[in-house]
């Protein structure tokens, strides 16, 4: 009963099976955070159940803090738990003219949560070398730099 059991070879799960299981668990626990409810395809990154426990998430967040600056228009957001942690979805536009859908997993204050609204433009950081749809709010961006980026994007749209 409490002894060691030999593992059977046919019971091994592949990495895809584990990923599928995590996606299924996430969609059952939080249907509002499923890929279908967020309106994204299967290639879009999923929301990590606990990013504080994931070394990949910590590494990604460190890289995003020094990433390139872009502007993101808030499409939608979901509160994940009562920390308050929120998942924000943006339509991101870079100074190079690249547009993509981005997702940010952020810890926000109650005041920041109450000020969120679809259509709001916020500065975000992304990793140009990776382009994996992950972004982070650029809270450290200088207002003058954000305005300059906004002017560059607006002038490109006019031309």
Q: Token digits for 116?
A: 């969120």
What is the mean predicted confidence (pLDDT) over 89-101? 92
Which of the four pLDDT bands, split at 50, 70 and 90, describes residue 118? very high
Q: Token digits for 95?
A: 């100074």
Apex CA 96: angle with CA 92 and CA 98, to 5°? Answer: 40
Residue 5 has pLDDT above 60, yes or no: no
| 3/87: higher pLDDT | 87
What is the mean predicted confidence (pLDDT) over 117-125? 94
Residue 87 has pLDDT above 80, yes or no: yes
What is the mean predicted confidence (pLDDT) over 34-57? 63
Can you give the pTM of this predicted structure? 0.68
Judge whether 63 and 128 are in contact, CB under 8 Å: no
Give, in order, the Cα–Cα distances in Å from 74 to each of 1, 91, 118, 137, 144: 54, 7, 5, 11, 21
Judge whether 145 and 68 are in contact, CB under 8 Å: no
């Amino acid at each position: 009963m409490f002894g060691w059991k030999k593992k059977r070879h046919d019971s091994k799960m592949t990495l895809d099976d584990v990923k599928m299981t995590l996606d299924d668990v996430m969609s059952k626990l939080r249907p509002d955070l499923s890929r279908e409810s967020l309106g994204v395809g299967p290639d879009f990154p999923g929301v990590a159940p606990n990013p504080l426990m994931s070394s990949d998430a910590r590494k990604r967040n460190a890289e995003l803090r020094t990433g390139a600056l872009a502007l993101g228009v808030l499409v939608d957001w979901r509160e994940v738990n009562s920390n308050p942690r929120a998942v924000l979805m943006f339509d991101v536009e870079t100074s190079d003219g690249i547009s993509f859908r981005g997702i940010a997993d952020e810890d926000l204050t109650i005041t920041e949560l109450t000020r969120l609204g679809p259509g709001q433009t916020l500065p975000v950081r992304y990793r140009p070398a990776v382009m994996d749809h992950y972004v982070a709010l650029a809270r450290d961006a200088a207002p003058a730099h954000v305005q300059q980026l906004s002017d560059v994007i607006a002038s490109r749209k006019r031309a």
